[in-house]
Structure 1
Amino acid sequence: MTAIAEIRELVARFTGAFGAGDMETLRAVFSRDETLLFYGTQVNLHIVGWPGLERAFAHQFAAMQDLRVSVDPDSLVITVLAEGRAACVGTPRLRFQARMGERPFDLPRIRMTAVAERRGEGWVFVQMHWSLTDQEVVIAQEGEAAGEGAG
């Protein structure tokens, strides 16, 4: 399998695991060291290190129902770097759908960029950024209220 095909598979594993609330697979697709970065548009999603990201995922899984996450495969851009040891990944069409109580929502055009590194025989994300414009914070993290930090 080529590096690009492996990265496509990494993205598919991530979206499938996120949509299913599968923390075991999420642990496998992200670096679990202190250098992992995950940034969203809102300030409550500026996370450094796996423990913080794991808490954020668990918080979202507890608050949402019918979660579905997908990427338009035709929009996925992958550039392999460092002689096949790293890759940049991006799409303007990550889709995030869920329901919170009676409130459904659908965010069809989240911009997602990421850096993946080959670690041993596989790939993991070491950095990921999601951005969207003019959207409220859907899930407030601990100590914050929904609607704070939108930007």
Structure 2
Amino acid sequence: MAAIADVCELVARFTGALTDYDMEGLRALFARDADLLFYGTQANLHLRGWPALESAFMRQFDALAELRVSIDPDTLVVLELAGGRAACVGSPSLRFQARAGEKVLDHRNIRVTAVAEHRDEAWVFVQMHWSTAGQEVVVEQEGDGSTAAEA
């Protein structure tokens, strides 16, 4: 049960670090594996490895104001695996709020799944996936020259 509580805390630290624009906090939460995977809600947010994910977080921090990310803790499910050395995490209710220029973003009920591993006395994410149901929003991100539709 301690592993489940620790992974719930990892999720809370993740949403808190995003909301606080805390890159150092985010660095502590993700593995440095070359095959770290992050799949966001846009095609240009399908990333492999920490350097790509770090760059995406930095672009988002530069482009977004009033960022707030939360997960309803009552919807968070954590399954302990591998004798407490790994865990699967899921929730259908991540909320992502921000302002991009004059545009207000408020995406509710983003599905999030993740895999976390216990390494060197700490839990870290090794995979994360966000997806939306029935939403399509075109978002332009400065600096990467792309326009992508959220799906």
Q: TM-score band (shorter)?
A: over 0.9
What amino acid is aligned across from residue 12 of structure 1 in structure 2?
Answer: A
| C-alpha distance after superposition, 1:20-48 (max 9, x if no partner) | 11000100001122111000232111100
Relative to 1, partners in 2 of residues 1:63 and 1:31: Cα closer, same or farther, differing over 3 Å? same
Q: CA deviation at 1:94?
A: 0.4
**Post-superposition shift, 1:138?**
3.0
Counterpart for residue 41 of structure 1: 41
2-structure distance, mates of 1:20, 1:7: 20
Gaps of 5+ in 1: none
Q: Distance in 2 between matches of 1:74 and 1:36?
A: 27
Aligned 8 A contact 1:63 1:139 in 2: no
Shift of 1:135: 2.2
Which secondary structure does the structure 2 equivalent of 1:21 belong to? coil
Aligned-partner Cα distance in 2 for 1:89–1:61:
25
Range moving further from structure 2, 121-130 or 37-46: 37-46
Shift of 1:139: 4.7
Tell me: CA distance 1:16–1:118, structure 2 relative to 1, closer, same or farther (3 Å). same
Q: For residue 138 of structure 1, what is the aligned residue in structure 2?
A: 139
Residue 29 of structure 1: SS of its match in structure 2? coil
Equivalent residue, structure 2, for 1:27: 27
Cα-Cα RMSD:
1.4
How many percent identity over aligned positions?
A: 61
Contact 1:41 1:132 in 2 (8 A): yes
Number of positions where the alignment pairs a residue of Structure 1 with one of Structure 2 = 149
The answer to whether the Cα contact below 8 Å between 1:115 and 1:125 also exists between their aligned partners in 2 is yes
Tell me the distance in 2 between the aligned counterparts of 1:41 and 1:102. Answer: 21
Given that 1:93 and 1:110 are in contact with CA atoms closer than 8 Å, whether structure 2 keeps it comes out as yes
Instruction: Flag the structure with higher strand content.
Output: 2
**SS in structure 2 at match of 1:138:** strand
Q: What amino acid maps onto 1:107 in structure 2?
A: H
* 1:149 positional shift: 4.4
Q: What's the counterpart of residue 61 of structure 1?
A: 61
SS of 1:62 mapped into structure 2: helix
Counterpart Cα distance in 2 of 1:21 and 1:41: 19
